[in-house]
């Protein structure tokens, strides 16, 4: 059974239908990326999956007992409110220090427990958010543009961390991103959304699909070129280069 099965889903806000007849399945352990223009319904799709948006048609079926970890788009930390990473990790429930440490280690930031949230860099903050989502040992991680505000090497490093998390925990990943070329190389499957599923498939298939090209225009050539470029290098080398 799929972890998540979205069947003929439509979502509307009042009279404004933002998703129409969307079908999507997430299988264990796969990394799936949703791309699409602003306002194309990407966040609404994630909200429908976590039960925060009501379908007007169709359904979202979750595997019984499915554990979901959610990393939101951006968290605004009040600079005047002192809170350590350790406290932040415990805000949503009873979490042992060992579990916090383990989750931070999996997220690639093992030494941040005592740090102030407001003093973290953008990349560190996103990893702490990732760690918090990992605390419940999710079967699937949902990430909503988790690299917003990071520079390109920062984003690339974050996505490599996601691959590492998948390798270590075996969880599936469904993420939204605007950074097509960075994300594409980290994804097993890409879904191009524009109110409906325009096209989907492996990164290379989607990048060359006419529907995708129509939506992303001139950016597409660059994305495709970069995607190919990434794969012309062996992995060890490209990892070093992007650090």
Ligand X SMILES: Nc1ncnc2c1ncn2[C@@H]1O[C@H](COP(=O)(O)OP(=O)(O)OP(=O)(O)O)[C@@H](O)[C@H]1O
Neighbour count for residue 39 (Cβ, 10 Å): 11
181-219 burial: b if 16+ Cβ within 10 Å, else e = bbbbbbbebbbbbbbebbbbeebeebbebeebbebbeee
Distance between CA atoms of residues 159 and 103, nearest Å? 17
Distance between CA atoms of residues 93 and 49, nearest Å? 22
Distance between CA atoms of residues 180 and 51, nearest Å? 27
- The secondary element (H helix, E strand) that includes residue 70 is strand 68-71
- CB-count burial class (<10 Å; 0-12, 13-18, 19+) for 96: exposed
> Which position among 1, 13, 153, 241 is part of the footprint of ligand X (CB under 6 A)?
13
> Which position among 10, 43, 100, 177 is part of the footprint of ligand X (CB under 6 A)?
43
Kindly tell me which of 71 and 109 has the beta carbon lying closer to ligand X: 71
In the complex, least distance from residue 44 CB atom to ligand X, rounded to whole angstroms: 3
Helices within 27-151 (DSSP H only): 42-49, 85-90, 97-106, 122-134
> Which position among 41, 69, 123, 138 is part of the footprint of ligand X (CB under 6 A)?
41
Stretch that binds ligand X, among 32-40, 59-67, 97-105, 223-231 (CB under 6 A): 32-40
Kindly tell me which of 39 and 51 has the beta carbon lying closer to ligand X: 39
Beta bridge partners of 172: 140
> Which position among 18, 71, 112, 130 is part of the footprint of ligand X (CB under 6 A)?
18
Kindly tell me which of 48 and 104 has the beta carbon lying closer to ligand X: 48
> Which position among 28, 39, 221, 222 is part of the footprint of ligand X (CB under 6 A)?
39
> Which position among 22, 32, 33, 36 is part of the footprint of ligand X (CB under 6 A)?
36
By CB under 6 A, residue 83 contacts ligand X: no
In the complex, least distance from residue 47 CB atom to ligand X, rounded to whole angstroms: 7
Name the 3-class secondary structure at 170: coil
In the complex, least distance from residue 1 CB atom to ligand X, rounded to whole angstroms: 27
By CB under 6 A, residue 174 contacts ligand X: no
By CB under 6 A, residue 177 contacts ligand X: no
In the complex, least distance from residue 48 CB atom to ligand X, rounded to whole angstroms: 9
Binding site for ligand X (CB under 6 A): 13, 18, 36, 38-44
């Amino acid at each position: 059974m799929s972890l998540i099965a979205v069947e003929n889903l439509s979502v509307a806000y009042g009279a404004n239908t933002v998703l129409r007849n969307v079908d999507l399945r997430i299988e264990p352990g796969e990394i799936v990326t949703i791309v699409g223009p602003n306002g194309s319904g990407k966040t609404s799709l994630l909200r429908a999956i976590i039960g925060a948006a009501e379908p007007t048609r169709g359904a979202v079926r979750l595997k019984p007992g499915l554990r979901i970890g959610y990393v939101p788009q951006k968290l605004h930390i009040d600079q005047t409110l002192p809170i350590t990473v350790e406290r932040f990790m415990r805000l949503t429930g009873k979490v042992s220090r060992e579990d916090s440490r383990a989750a931070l280690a999996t997220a690639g930031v093992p030494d941040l427990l005592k740090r102030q949230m407001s003093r973290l860099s953008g990349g560190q903050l996103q990893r702490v958010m990732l760690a918090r989502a990992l605390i419940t040992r999710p079967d699937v991680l949902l990430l909503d543009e988790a690299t917003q505000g990071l520079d390109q090497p920062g984003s690339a490093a974050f996505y490599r961390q996601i691959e590492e998390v998948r390798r270590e925990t075996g969880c599936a990943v469904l993420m939204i991103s605007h950074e097509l070329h960075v994300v594409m190389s980290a994804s097993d499957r890409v879904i191009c959304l524009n109110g409906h599923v325009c096209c989907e498939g492996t990164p290379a298939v989607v990048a060359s699909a006419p529907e995708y090209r129509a939506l992303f225009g001139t950016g597409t050539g660059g994305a495709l070129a970069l995607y190919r470029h990434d794969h012309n290098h062996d992995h060890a080398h490209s990892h070093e280069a992007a650090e």
